[in-house]
């Protein structure tokens, strides 16, 4: 319970960082937003970190839900670390933190490509949060054991109970297992020569940005231990999940769900992931 409570209290990571000037307080740029004392209209002076869509907001006014209780003066210039809340005729964002521009430092407040900077920070975050980072090649793509049971008829009765014309699941991920032959381990521990990476084959809006693996793909995989799939039920599924000690891909199942979690070798070199992996390995060797 304590772990769940800490997870709920942890603030979201900012995805839109910009320098801005406060133009109005207790006001908003969108009719759908109810303004109060912690709502401000802010002009985006310069985008520091953002995706391609939000990077276009430089020079425009946005609605900011301010964080903390410190007084924010009209005309004040700050670095806003925010997450988007609403899109429409304008944009509404929630500030995770706002820093006076003078105290933020020039290196954090200006210059460079904001889209590239966000991609670099995403990469560092994914590497830091990964349980295992490996480089290797996808040998095969298979159905997970529980999906194999479904195709054998285990789920047939459940499908028949669904009303005609309605999907079984609107966001069915269509899980697949990529069996990756490991060439090198850059972070974490994995004793076997192959590792199982579970990924959604679905192109549904919820899953379309997740990497889709095919045999022959080579690159760097930043993986997290899977918590998505329950333990298989029944003797046949349990036996298949255990597998033999020599079975390729047997053992823990991992996931790669963020677009940055897999990078082909050429892209890994271009984004600095190979340098990040080398630095991590060197640091581990010194410890």
Residue 151 has a pLDDT of 46
Whether residues 150 and 94 fall in one domain: no
Whether residues 8 and 46 fall in one domain: yes
Which domain range does residue 18 map to? 2-111
State pLDDT tens for residues 15-46. 899 999 999 999 999 999 999 999 999 999 99
More confident residue, 227 or 135: 135
Residue 121 lies in a domain: no
SS (H, E, C) 119-180: HHHHHHHHHHHCCEEEEEEEEEEECCHHHHHHHHHHCHHHHHCCCCCCCCCCCCCCEEEEEE
What CATH number does residue 70 fall under?
2.40.50
Q: Which of 3-7, 129-133, 226-230 has the lowest mean pLDDT?
A: 3-7
Average pLDDT of span 8-16: 75
More confident residue, 103 or 120: 120
Residue 84 has a pLDDT of 93
Distance (Å, whole) CA 15 – CA 48: 10
Length of the chain: 287
Residue 284 has a pLDDT of 57
Whether residues 143 and 218 fall in one domain: yes
Q: Which of 7-21, 58-72, 229-243 has the lowest mean pLDDT?
A: 229-243
Judged against a pLDDT cut of 90, whether residue 156 lies above it is answered with: no
Residue 147 lies in a domain: yes
Average pLDDT of span 159-179: 63
Residue 164 has a pLDDT of 41
Whether residues 207 and 276 fall in one domain: yes
Residue 7 has a pLDDT of 45
State pLDDT tens for residues 87-106. 999 999 999 999 998 765 54
Residue 116 lies in a domain: no
Residue 123 has a pLDDT of 81
Distance (Å, whole) CA 216 – CA 89: 45
Residue 159 lies in a domain: no
Whether residues 71 and 145 fall in one domain: no
Distance (Å, whole) CA 246 – CA 8: 40
Residue 118 lies in a domain: no
Judged against a pLDDT cut of 80, whether residue 253 lies above it is answered with: yes
Distance (Å, whole) CA 23 – CA 40: 7
Q: Which residues contact 21 (CB under 8 A, 6 or more apart)?
A: 42, 43, 45, 75, 76, 77
Whether residues 211 and 281 fall in one domain: yes
Whether residues 271 and 237 fall in one domain: yes
Average pLDDT of span 114-138: 85
Judged against a pLDDT cut of 50, whether residue 243 lies above it is answered with: no
Whether residues 81 and 137 fall in one domain: no
Residue 121 has a pLDDT of 77
Residue 50 lies in a domain: yes
Average pLDDT of span 123-147: 88
Distance (Å, whole) CA 262 – CA 138: 11
* pLDDT mean across residues, the chain: 78
Whether residues 13 and 144 fall in one domain: no
Tally of domains in the chain: 2
Average pLDDT of span 250-262: 85
Would you say the C-alpha torsion 103, 107, 113, 119 has a positive or negative sign? negative
Whether residues 143 and 71 fall in one domain: no
More confident residue, 112 or 178: 178
Cβ of 158: how many Cβ atoms within 10 Å?
10
Whether residues 144 and 58 fall in one domain: no
Residue 154 has a pLDDT of 40
Whether residues 255 and 176 fall in one domain: yes
Residue 74 lies in a domain: yes
Residue 162 has a pLDDT of 37
Residue 147 has a pLDDT of 61
> CA nearest 78: which of 89, 88, 67, 86?
67
Residue 91 lies in a domain: yes
């Amino acid at each position: 319970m304590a772990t769940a409570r800490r997870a709920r209290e942890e603030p979201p990571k900012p995805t839109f960082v910009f320098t801005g000037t406060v133009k109005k307080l207790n006001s908003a740029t969108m009719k759908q937003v109810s303004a109060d004392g912690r709502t401000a209209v802010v002009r985006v002076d310069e985008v520091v970190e953002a995706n391609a869509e939000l990077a276009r907001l430089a020079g425009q006014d946005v609605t900011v839900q301010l964080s903390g209780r410190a007084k924010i003066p009209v005309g004040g210039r700050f670095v806003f670390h925010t997450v988007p809340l609403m899109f429409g005729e304008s944009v509404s964002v929630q500030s995770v933190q706002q820093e006076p521009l003078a105290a933020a430092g020039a290196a954090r407040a200006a210059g460079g490509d904001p889209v590239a900077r966000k991609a670099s920070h995403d990469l560092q975050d994914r590497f830091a949060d990964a349980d295992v980072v490996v480089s290797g090649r996808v040998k095969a793509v298979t159905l997970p054991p529980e999906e194999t049971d479904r195709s054998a008829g285990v789920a047939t009765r459940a499908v028949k109970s669904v009303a005609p014309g309605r999907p079984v699941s609107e966001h069915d991920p269509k899980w697949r297992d990529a069996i990756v032959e490991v060439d090198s381990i850059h972070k974490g521990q994995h004793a076997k020569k192959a590792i199982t990476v579970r990924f959604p084959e679905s192109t549904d809006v919820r899953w379309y940005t997740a990497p889709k693996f095919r045999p022959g793909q080579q690159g760097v995989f930043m993986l997290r231990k899977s918590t998505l799939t329950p333990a298989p039920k029944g003797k046949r599924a349990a036996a298949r999940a255990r597998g033999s000690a020599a079975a390729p891909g047997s053992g823990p199942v991992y996931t790669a769900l963020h677009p940055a979690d897999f990078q082909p070798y050429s892209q890994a070199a271009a984004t600095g992931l190979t340098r990040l992996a080398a630095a991590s390995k060197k640091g581990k060797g010194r410890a």
